[in-house]
Structure 1
Amino acid sequence: MKTDSIFYRLFQTFPSAFFELINLQASEANAYNFASVELKQTAFRIDGVFLPVADTSSQPIYFVEVQFQKDNEFYARLFSEIFLYLRLYAPTTDWRAVVIFPRRSLEPTQVQPYRVLLESQLVTRLYLNELGEVTEYSLGVGIIKLVVVNKKQTPILVKSLITKTRSEVSDKALQKKVLDLIETIVVYKLPRISRQELIKMFGLGDFDIKTTRLYEELKQETTLELVMRLLPRRIGNLSPQLSERISQLSIEQLENLAEALLDFSTEGDLVVWLQDNLTQT
């Protein structure tokens, strides 16, 4: 599961949370439309762009990038994307970049070529683990905090956010959308969580885990990561061909493989298992 897709959904649902993060009034969101932008004829995609609506063009464009992995080339890519966007679309307004890290340790350290930009008012760097108490913030910012809070605190925060959702969100369709977003983050953080644990966490006796494509992709990715982490410990490094075959397995097959691999001792055991199980499908 990519964290940028979580934040895309989050800022679509709570655009005001973005402006709260950068210490602006939540009402600023009313002057913007939020979208993900793919730059034409390139492999670049900007995680999110807050574009001023037509009658408030004096407002700056906000480029949003979410970075949850160590990447020494991150700033090179970020500023390449921004300046390519400016060249392709030729906006006439000012711009700002907002970079969201879970913590400072993931920020690149070799930033000398970009220091002038980074130390200017053009760039804001946010570290989510340095946010204050969730009770000080809105529901949207609280959900952002959920992404980085430790696993022990997750159930407590989830219950607080659910209570807040039910008390503050009167529209039933939006309430369901918010609860689904919270659930997605929980499954992302706790991929091995059971249905019963989710029911207890959400405090709903009739709560059913969603079967949306997003949820299925999330479960498949986390299970695949688990399998690919465990297999080398049992049988050594995998060949690219075997890795490719495993990546094509369904969620159910991956879960079965996660159990079966505990008995593997050689690569041949994996090959036999794949032959048997792929033949049955």
Structure 2
Amino acid sequence: MAYDNVCKYLVEWFPESFVRWLLGSPVSLAQLQPTELSTEPIRADSLILLRAQNLILHLEFQTDPDPDIPLRMADYCLRLFRRYPDQEVRQIVIYLRKTQSERVYQTSFQRGSLSHRFEVLRLWEQDPEVLSRYPGLLPLAVLAEPDNPEPRLRQVARAIAEMEDPKLRQELKAATAVLAGLTWTPEEISRVLGGLAVRESTIYQMWRAEALKEGREEGLKQGLEQGLQQGLQQGLQQEAARLTLSQLQRKLGPLPEDLSETIRRLPTEQLEGLAEALLDFQTLADLTQWLEELASA
């Protein structure tokens, strides 16, 4: 779900890009909150109300096939109809990672006399040139060419680098780096995009928090497990180590290689503890003492 949430953030920040891509023309819109529909828990990645056309556009992002998707889409459509009976509802499931599963072609839910249809888009079948026309869709363009991602990733990186707004550059670069993790290793992504600015972005921090939460709560069985080449647990540990080392270097200056290597080997939970403790560090000796106390505990 962590990758799905990056797409949710992109929709929230760049709704016009998605509307132009999916509907072909700009319209005025306002975003709906799923909590407005029911007190019962239900998750939708994004709901956008297109007031100019009396249309509710429901986008559901999926990293991998989910057998419950048809039921969820039917359930959400009924809830939307009860809440907004005069609005047309258009639902689109967008699959992120290339797969041979037949589930990504399923566009209907049927049980007895109940029948419901929805739309499906598979990113790996989309035209990357079309996606590259809109700023908010640049991170998705990388997934449109999963079999040959490097040229597209470099093209997206150049397009982002040419943007004038530094905040916009940082957030789109971070979203691109995260989604590229469905195809590339973190080392390869860092080589093309660079690592430090990405890890300091808002979108990366939100993604990392979601990934760590999912890893703890679900026993590292889902989410990024299939996205990172070395597995979710190792991937999260590596990212936590990079972020912590970056924070330490900014506060204390260059670290001795032996200390850096010790930190890289720390498990994720200890790295999180170090990330909190370093706020009180003043000198390299404080770091050394913290590591010694950790080793003796």
Given the two structures, how large is their TM-score scaled by the length of structure 2? 0.60
Q: Is the 8 A contact 1:143 1:161 kept in 2?
A: yes
> In structure 1, what is the equivalent of residue 208 of structure 2?
216
> In structure 2, what is the equivalent of residue 42 of structure 1?
40
Residue 60 of structure 1, CA deviation: 0.7
Instruction: Give the counterpart of 1:144 among 137, 140, 152.
Output: 140
Alignment size in residue pairs: 226
Residue 207 of structure 1, CA deviation: 4.7
Which letter maps to 1:209?
Answer: R
- Alpha-carbon distance between aligned partners in 1 of 2:19 and 2:107, rounded to the nearest angstrom: 28
> In structure 2, what is the equivalent of residue 132 of structure 1?
127
- Alpha-carbon distance between aligned partners in 2 of 1:201 and 1:128, rounded to the nearest angstrom: 22
Identity %: 14
Residue 186 of structure 1, CA deviation: 3.1
SS at match of 2:87: coil
- Alpha-carbon distance between aligned partners in 2 of 1:137 and 1:10, rounded to the nearest angstrom: 14
Residue 136 of structure 1, CA deviation: 6.9
Q: Is the 8 A contact 2:109 2:116 kept in 1?
A: no
- Alpha-carbon distance between aligned partners in 2 of 1:5 and 1:206, rounded to the nearest angstrom: 21
> In structure 2, what is the equivalent of residue 33 of structure 1?
30
Is residue 170 from structure 1 mapped to residue 160 from structure 2 by the alignment? no
Alignment of 1:189-200 (within 5 A): 189-190=183-184, 192-194=185-187, 197-200=188-191
> In structure 1, what is the equivalent of residue 78 of structure 2?
83
Residue 68 of structure 1, CA deviation: 2.8
SS at match of 1:77: helix
Instruction: Give the counterpart of 2:175 among 171, 175, 181.
Output: 181
Residue 205 of structure 1, CA deviation: 9.5
Instruction: Give the counterpart of 2:60 among 62, 65, 83.
Output: 65
Q: Taking structure 1 as reference, are residues 170 and 107 closer, same or farther at Cα in structure 2, changes over 3 Å only?
A: same
> In structure 1, what is the equivalent of residue 13 of structure 2?
13
Instruction: Give the counterpart of 2:88 among 88, 94, 116.
Output: 94
Q: Taking structure 1 as reference, are residues 113 and 142 closer, same or farther at Cα in structure 2, changes over 3 Å only?
A: same
User: Which residues of structure 1 form unaligned runs of 5+?
Assistant: 230-246, 259-277
Residue 110 of structure 1, CA deviation: 9.3
Residue 137 of structure 1, CA deviation: 4.0
- Alpha-carbon distance between aligned partners in 2 of 1:111 and 1:143, rounded to the nearest angstrom: 28
Q: Give the CA RMSD over aligned residues.
A: 4.1
Instruction: Write the deviation string for residues 84-127 of structure 1: whole angstroms up to 9, x where unpaired.
Output: 2332x235222211121245633265946179542xxxx33211
Q: Is the 8 A contact 1:74 1:108 kept in 2?
A: no
Instruction: Write the deviation string for residues 152-204 of structure 1: whole angstroms up to 9, x where unpaired.
Output: 6333222211211233x3222222222222223234554x523xx544302x5
> In structure 1, what is the equivalent of residue 280 of structure 2?
none
SS at match of 2:66: coil
User: Which residues of structure 2 form unaligned runs of 5+?
Assistant: 226-235, 242-262, 269-293
SS at match of 1:45: coil
